[in-house]
Amino acid sequence: MERAQVKGVVFNREKLQCKFKCKEVSFFGHSWTPQGMKPDNKKVSAILGMKPPEDAKSLQSFLGLVSYLTRYSGRLATLSSPLRDLTKKDVAYCWGPEHTRAFDEVKKEVSSLGVLRYFDPDAETTIRTDASLKGLGAVLLQGGQPVCYASKALTEAEQRYSNIEREALVVVWGLERFHYFVYGKKCTVHTDHKPLETIFRKKLSSCPSRLQRFVLRALKYDVTVTYVKGEQVPIADALSRVSPQAEPLKGQLPQLDIHQITNTLPASPVKLQQIRNETADDPVLNKLREVVYQGWPATRERCPQLLHDYWNFREELTIEDGLILKQERIVMPPNLREEVLTSPIHEGHLGQEKCLLQARSAVFWPGITKDIIKVVESCDACQKHQRKQQKQHLLQPEPP
């Protein structure tokens, strides 16, 4: 009022409907209170008073109102997922009991929405994240109070990610989802996946390709990734397990081309399929694939005995198109290891060092170094020519 008086501004209470010294102000569907921001009571009442939609157009109007309130609850988009299915193209509008249940659950959730704290640029900011087999969840916190919620269902491609890839994905997605809050200021991300602490601190070259891309996307943020126990991130954990309908992730990563990995191990599509089949048939690798996908236990003692050989480099293992990878190297099934040792790694008789170098760029299994050394030492041709430092000759790839 003092500024208006200085500038000569006159208010007309009747025309402008001015209100002064209000403890609560409603604006654009939100109510601003001393405690924080909450949904406008009129908008909430409008949703609670709606009857089940009779056509797709009415349903879209209802969902539009609901989507406006998703920042107050990560459950709204999930609860409304069956209703959204009715709005898809080429889907007949047929209202059933499951839609009635979803409609009632959405209205119940709307009636119990809480208050969000106002964002303070000077306050310490934390993002708590968690990923499940089906979705991602994140919540922005200041002083232990929520500022904003977010959740997302995984696409079909993302559901095939290994556990560590999903956990890395949710960290990057959470940062990008809350970009306007955290960009340009220090931020801490709390995760219940301990390996991520080192993944986001280690050298980029030591990470598998997809994790490298996640780390690169996070470099523009001043973020510290910290491990906390799962029970300390219940909000994000709940959001990830009831995530909304899948939407394409902005900047989604392209699928890794397996043939780029096998550039030093010529392999036709038939050979790659053979590796996939042998991997699926091998009990150890089949169990390994399951653990990589679902997540490793917290300690080596709780890890299955048959997987102890893989424990020390568990963070480097990923799954791509049915193959188990250690960074960029294919984990070979036992039935195919003898074939790898004799051809193409050994067929050039290049000696121990070059055989090891070639193998380390393409394939892996526990004890591969000892196996290669044993083969080279027992080969007369390798022993005869190893000091001549032969140049590696071009290998003829298998015909498709």
Residue-wise DSSP of 148-204? EEEEEEPPTTGGGS-HHHHHHHHHHHHHHHTHHHHTTSEEEEEES-THHHHHTTS-G
* Packed helices 163-177 and 283-294: angle between N→C axes, nearest 10 degrees: 20
CA distance 244 to 359: 44
Q: Is 138 inside a domain boundary?
A: yes
Provide CB contacts within 8 A for 172, sequence distance 6+: 214, 217, 218
Q: Is 398 inside a domain boundary?
A: no
Domain end residue (candidates: 112, 138, 156):
112
Q: Is 338 inside a domain boundary?
A: yes
Domain count, the chain: 3
At residue 3, the pLDDT reads 85
* Same structural domain, 129 and 103: no
Instruction: Name the one residue in this structure whose structure tokens are 């109070």.
Output: 145
Domain end residue (candidates: 112, 133, 157):
112
* Same structural domain, 46 and 104: yes
* Same structural domain, 106 and 25: yes
The CATH number that applies at residue 314 is: 1.10.340.70
* Same structural domain, 139 and 214: yes
At residue 253, the pLDDT reads 40
Strands 30-32 and 37-39: antiparallel
User: Computed from CA positions of residues 368, 370, 371, 373, in that sequence, does the dihedral angle turn out positive or negative?
Assistant: positive
Write the single-letter amino acid at 223: V
Q: Is 120 inside a domain boundary?
A: no
* Packed helices 163-177 and 209-218: angle between N→C axes, nearest 10 degrees: 20
* Same structural domain, 96 and 134: no
Q: Is 397 inside a domain boundary?
A: no
Domain end residue (candidates: 55, 79, 112):
112
* 400 residues of the chain, pLDDT tens digit each: 788 888 888 877 776 666 777 888 887 778 888 888 888 888 888 888 888 888 888 888 888 888 878 788 767 766 787 888 888 888 888 888 999 999 999 898 888 888 889 999 999 999 998 888 877 888 899 988 899 888 777 777 888 888 888 899 999 999 999 999 999 999 999 988 888 888 888 777 777 777 888 889 999 999 999 988 765 555 555 555 544 444 444 444 444 444 445 444 456 778 888 888 988 899 999 889 888 888 888 788 888 888 898 888 887 888 887 888 887 788 889 988 888 877 666 666 666 777 777 777 788 889 888 888 887 777 777 666 655 545 555 555 555 5
CA trace torsion 115, 117, 119, 123 (10° rounding):
-170
Q: Is 21 inside a domain boundary?
A: yes
Instruction: Pick the closest to residue 207 from 327, 307, 27, 322 (CA basis).
Output: 327
324-347 b/e with 16+ CB inside 10 Å = b?
Answer: bbbbbbbbbbeebeeebbeebbbe
The CATH number that applies at residue 209 is: 3.30.420.10
Q: Is 344 inside a domain boundary?
A: yes
At residue 252, the pLDDT reads 44
Q: Is 117 inside a domain boundary?
A: no
Provide CB contacts within 8 A for 231, sequence distance 6+: none
Which residues lie across from 368 on neighbouring strands? none
Provide CB contacts within 8 A for 390, sequence distance 6+: 348, 349, 350, 351
Structural domain that includes position 287: 261-384
At residue 234, the pLDDT reads 52
